[in-house]
Amino acid sequence: MGNFTELDMYLFGQATHYDIYKKLGAHPAEIRKKKGILFDVWAPHAAEVYVIGTFNDWNETANPMRRLEPAGIGIFEAFIPKAELGDLYKYLIITPDGRKLYKADPYANYAEVRPGTASRIADIEHFKWTDDKWMDKRKQTEDVYAEPMAIYEVHPGSWMRHPGREDDGYYSYREMAAALTKYVKGMGYSHVELMGISEYPYDGSWGYQVTGYYAPTSRYGTPEDFVYLVNYLHKHGIGVILDWVPAHFPKDAHGLADFDGCPLYEYADPRMGEHPEWGTKIFDYGKSEVKNFLIGSALMWIEHYHIDGLRVDAVASMLYLDYGKKEGQWIANKYGENKNLEAIEFFRHINTLITGRNHGTVMIAEESTAWPMVTGPADKGGLNFTYKWNMGWMHDFLDYMSLDPYFRKNNHHKMTFAMSYNNSEKYILVLSHDEVVHLKKSMWEKMPGDEEDKFRNLKSAYSFMMGHPGKKLLFMGQDFGQLREWSEERELDWYLMEEPRHRQLNEYFRELLHIYRKYPAMYEQDSDWNGFEWINADDADRSIYSFVRKSKNGKNSLLFVCNMTPVARDDYRVGVPKKGTYHLLLNSNEARFGGTEADKSRPASYKAVKSECDGREYSISYPLPPFGVAVFRVM
């Protein structure tokens, strides 16, 4: 009998067992012509381990596990013919001092619906995929950085719900597939980023305190149902990114904390192994088996579930030993510094491995500090992430846009500063869920002025964001002007789409997305000055920004003009990069977008004349309305 071989143990001990999820956990097996379930768990400090579940009426001594040789590795195994797919189970761990711990399986592929905490036996080896076209295209991607990426960030449990049901009213993964795909594809997003997919016990954590790193949450259905969602999105040309949380884990009794009676997945010293502010445990990135646990989880999502990228949460908390800690609560590294050398090496390993084995996939860092070379190559001292969330841009952008327009002239630099460091990393511009909760207000409510001004401000804000270099991410509900802050306890206020202004804002953002996807100038050279040129970055008195986005082949460059005040500039003239005709692609003041001008009432084309403006030999005249945005294609 045996599932876990000496070779498996060796690879596990080297953190190089890349399909560890096929070995540890509960898996259908046939041994000596008997069919059943083979259970394997890592618990080196345990004195004894038993499998308890519905198949043995939770009898604590019915199914003991045997410790495999070499015993020091700490793998326990049991084959149970009576166990079947769908059965609930836990591990009963007897500690050396005689305590009983009832633990869910760290490698379980499925879990009991909360508030239950047991694992559930599942078979994830027989998924039916029909997304070959998408997967082949992903493999053949020449340069991920030259591809468009406009991400719709989604919390599945509160995106849309069934009204009037006695349960939570959640859409299942299968129900969500059609509804979410229809919306996302119609809008023009290229990707969805799903929050809270790895199993977690507490709804209010939004999925950022994980107990099941190998299991899609059962809140919305089975693993097969989740595959259906991913497969459906792929078949309709939409990429899927998951939030992934290797930074910390909760202390729930059934979880990873003190798993076998001692610190196992976490650092043993609480100065290394605990987040005082968060009340959670920190993974031990120096322990091979723990690194393998995390690496195996990431690879499973990417390779087994066809996920296109992982957004790694709370990277800064992993990199800094003193993150969120006071003096005396942390230990310096061997050089006397606050850098977690083991976490740094972990990132270099996993990022190189994931993107090396899976061409076309991405690893995204939510890193909130100025740590250098987050997206730099590992062999040159970088962490080798594909992208980094641009938190600096986000804070400056929101600070500026929330100001009364009268005061914006004194803060003009907040919108231009990000270009001074744009080439230092590969960035994603983010307006995420974190910015519309905890009394931070929705994007609509952040905008100054009366109701009409809020909508006009938001259109100019989104225009600047979409034109600015960097991939894009917007949290659900903000593209139609959700009025209330987001809450995981209710669905988005979709009824607002019945009101003209919200519907018009949604149509405007859709237009921005379609322009973004259509013109390579908008995304091909995000981190290259060859892809961007300021026309006028210094028009602070009028609070107007003008710039050009350029494609690699020099064709179809786009000129953006954004007026950030309610003052009309009827005599406005903007310098242009060259002689020629400039075709008006977008006028934010059209009636279909809630503006005051009849649709298509503006001339379609503007011929540049030899008239110096903004330091340019040629310019065009374009009467600029209050909060007006104009986007031109350079013919």
What is the pLDDT, as a whole number, of residue 2?
64
* Side chain identity at residue 395, one-letter code: H
Q: What share of the chain is helix, strand, coil (3-state, %, to 5)?
A: 30, 25, 45
**Given the DSSP bridges, would you call strands 280-281 and 274-275 parallel, antiparallel or unpaired?**
antiparallel
What is the pLDDT, as a whole number, of residue 166?
73
pLDDT lower than 70: segments of the chain? 1-2
What is the pLDDT, as a whole number, of residue 248?
97
Query: What are the chain's domains?
Result: 6-120 (2.60.40.10), 529-634 (2.60.40.1180)
Q: Taken in order 351, 352, 356, 359, is the CA torsion positive or negative?
A: positive
Q: Return d(Cα 632, Cα 178) in angstroms, integer.
A: 35
Catalytic residue among 77, 131, 366, 511: 366
**Annotation marks residue 366 as catalytic:** yes
**Given the DSSP bridges, would you call strands 362-365 and 387-389 parallel, antiparallel or unpaired?**
parallel
Number of H helices, E strands in the chain: 14, 29
The pLDDT > 70 percentage for the chain reads 100
Q: Where are the alpha helices (DSSP H) in 320-390?
A: 341-357
* β-bridge partners, 239: 191
Among 42, 85, 39, 46, CA closest to 63: 39
What is the pLDDT, as a whole number, of residue 117?
97
Residue 560 in contact with residue 545, Cβ under 8 Å?
yes
- Residue given tokens 């296109």 in the structure block: 308
Q: Return d(Cα 416, Cα 147) in angstroms, integer.
A: 24
Against a cut of 0.95, is the pTM above it? yes
In 507-557, beta strands by DSSP E: 532-539, 544-549
- What does residue 77 show for φ and ψ, rounded to 5 degrees? -140, 145
Catalytic residue among 199, 313, 396, 590: 313
